[in-house]
Amino acid sequence: MFMARYLLPFFKNTNTPKPVSFIFIGFILLFFILIPLISGLISFIKSKKNKFIATFSSHEILIEKGGIRKKILLQVPVSEIIDIVHNTNDLKNMSHHRNIELYNHPDLSKLTWLKKLTRILGSGGITIKTRTQLFTFGAGLSEEETSYLHYLILDFFKS
């Protein structure tokens, strides 16, 4: 509405045809007001619906998907767990684990955008490997958050 106060007199003073001025104002309303508002609302609804709750006890791991109706995604006894792995998108760790000199490559070490992109992507999460399945959670969190979460989980099971 703020822009319409200035645009409508401009269109009148320049003798712009009404259909052109309505299309222009409609374009601004659609792409700068309605679409951001709708996408923000959809993101808010998804954030309320897609909660993951992980409960670790000395007997089992229970991971639930929260929301309107809770749904158990993983319920595994501790005796069935083979490994708990921290997945990473960090170039140093990727090159170290795969025995590739990717990070120290002279051409790729200068690509700061590649380093920034791996930082933006976040981590691959934490994978719980059991005898029958793999389950990954925490994907998209920062490297520091998943490293700390991985440390807490392993420390819990050591004691």
Query: For the residues of 79-133, what is the DSSP string, one character each?
Result: GGEEEEEEE---HHHHHHHTT---TT-TTTTT-HHHHHHHHHH---EEEEEESS-
Asked whether residue 85 falls in the same domain as residue 139, the answer is: yes
Same domain as 147, residue 86? yes
Binned at pLDDT 50, 70 and 90, residue 96 comes out as: very low
pLDDT (tens digit, 9 = 90+) per residue, 43-83? 888 777 777 788 888 888 888 877 667 777 888 898 898 99
Structure pTM? 0.54
* Domain span at 27: 2-49
Q: Is residue 154 part of a domain?
A: yes
Task: State the pLDDT at residue 100.
Answer: 47
